[in-house]
Amino acid sequence: MLFWPWSRRTAKRPALQEPSETDITMMRRALALARSAVHTGEVPVGAVVFETATGRVIGEAFNRREGDHDPAAHAEFLAIRAASREMKEWRLVGCSLVVTLEPCVMCAGLIVNARVDRVLYGASDPKAGACESLYRVLDDRRLNHRPQVIGGVLAHESAELLRAFFRARRARTAR
């Protein structure tokens, strides 16, 4: 593996931190978005992008894969793009992303490309998670950006929402 001489210094990650009160408030907002997705038949996942310093929300979304007929319409993917449009800037420096479910490979790739500073997620996704579960895209020193990652934020609420959704869907299809 090849490292640039400066990679060790610039790739250093900040120490692990606890979510702030603002982070928790934002996760509750993302959970509310996820809940509103249920009524449209979407897998309930919600995401919010906000300015870390001010707490101003600059992008938010819920999963819209079914409605948009779009495999890329994951909550955090849509929220990041909305935030960039709002900021008129593709780099989301100084911004945090909260998302109720661990981001997948595609979304983790977008997080790196958008230079998001901080990522907070709720439930882990053992089948597709690319932050810790299956891959560690956000912690890969070969990439040029590594955000701070805090997982498990209000994870129980998020996981319960997903479980209830899939339980109801199984019950419907079993009928």
Please report, as a single letter, which amino acid is at residue 75: A
Q: Which two tokens stand for residue 98?
A: 């909260």
What is the Cα–Cα distance from 10 to 12, expressed in whole angstroms? Answer: 6
The rounded Cα 130 to chain-centroid distance in angstroms is 10
Q: Which of 64, 65, 74, 146 binds Zn ion (CB under 5 A)?
A: 74
Q: Which stretch binds Zn ion (CB under 5 A): 36-44, 66-74, 155-163, 165-173?
A: 66-74
Q: Which stretch binds Zn ion (CB under 5 A): 13-21, 79-87, 101-109, 140-148?
A: 101-109
Q: How far is CA 170 from CA 7, 45, 173, in A?
A: 48, 18, 5
- Residue 64 touches Zn ion, criterion: CB under 5 A: no
Q: Which stretch binds Zn ion (CB under 5 A): 18-26, 99-107, 111-119, 148-156?
A: 99-107
Closest alpha carbon to 49 in 137, 101, 113, 117: 117
Annotated catalytic, 51?
no
The number of residues that bind Zn ion (CB under 5 A) is 4
Residue of minimal CB distance from Zn ion? 107
Q: Which of 37, 49, 98, 107 binds Zn ion (CB under 5 A)?
A: 107
Question: Which regions of 5-135 does DSSP assign to beta strands (E)?
Answer: 46-51, 57-62, 95-101, 118-123
**Which candidate in 76, 86, 89, 157 is catalytic?**
76
Residues annotated as part of the active site: 76
Residues making contact with Zn ion (CB under 5 A):
74, 104, 106-107
